[in-house]
Amino acid sequence: MDAFIITDASYLERTNAAGVAGRIAVGNHNLSFKGSVTTVQCPNHGEMIAILHSLKKLREVRDDNILSIEKVYIGTDCQTVIDLLDKGFKKDRFYHPKTKQLLNDISKTMKTLNVDIQFQKIKAHVYDNPTPIERIHNEIDIQAKQALENLMKQVELNSLPSNIYSTLLPQKLIDGEYEHLEKTAYELAKKGLAPRILTKLPIERNPFADGVNRYNAENPDSTISYDVIPTYDSKLPKGHNKFHSGIMGIDRIQTLETMSRLGISDSMMLDEYEGLVLTDIGRTITGFQKKPSDVAEEVSLRESGHSKFILNHSASKRMQDYNVTLKQVGSLYDIPEKTYSDLLCREKVASSGLEY
Contacts of residue 135, defined as CB under 8 A and 6 or more positions apart, other chains included, come to none
- pLDDT, tens digit (0-9, with 9 covering 90-100), for 25-61: 999 999 999 998 887 888 999 999 999 999 999 999 9
pLDDT at 199: 95
Report the pLDDT averaged over residues 193-211: 94
105 contacts 118 by C-beta, under 8 angstroms: no
pLDDT at 289: 67
Between residues 300 and 54, which one has the greater pLDDT?
Answer: 54
Distance, CA of 36 to CA of 151 (rounded, Å): 6
Distance, CA of 148 to CA of 12 (rounded, Å): 8
Distance, CA of 239 to CA of 63 (rounded, Å): 36
| Residue 19 confidence (pLDDT) above 50 | yes
pLDDT at 242: 54
230 contacts 201 by C-beta, under 8 angstroms: yes
Mean pLDDT of the chain, nearest integer: 87
| Residue 88 confidence (pLDDT) above 50 | yes
Amino acid present at 136: I
| Residue 285 confidence (pLDDT) above 50 | yes
When mean pLDDT is compared across 9-23, 163-177, 207-221, 258-272, the lowest value belongs to 258-272
| Residue 78 confidence (pLDDT) above 70 | yes
pLDDT at 159: 62
Distance, CA of 271 to CA of 193 (rounded, Å): 33
pLDDT at 354: 41
pLDDT at 301: 66
pLDDT at 293: 63
| Residue 13 confidence (pLDDT) above 90 | no
| Beta-bridge partners for 350 | 355
Distances (CA, A) of 348 to 151, 178, 312, 340, 342: 43, 19, 14, 9, 9
**Alpha helices, DSSP H only, in the chain?**
43-65, 79-87, 97-113, 132-156, 177-190, 207-218, 249-261, 273-286, 320-332, 340-344
| Beta-bridge partners for 25 | 4, 30
How many other CB atoms sit within 10 Å of the CB of residue 130? Answer: 15
259 contacts 14 by C-beta, under 8 angstroms: no
195 contacts 163 by C-beta, under 8 angstroms: no
Distance, CA of 243 to CA of 228 (rounded, Å): 9
To the nearest 10°, report the CA torsion of 60, 66, 71, 74.
-20
| Residue 104 confidence (pLDDT) above 60 | yes
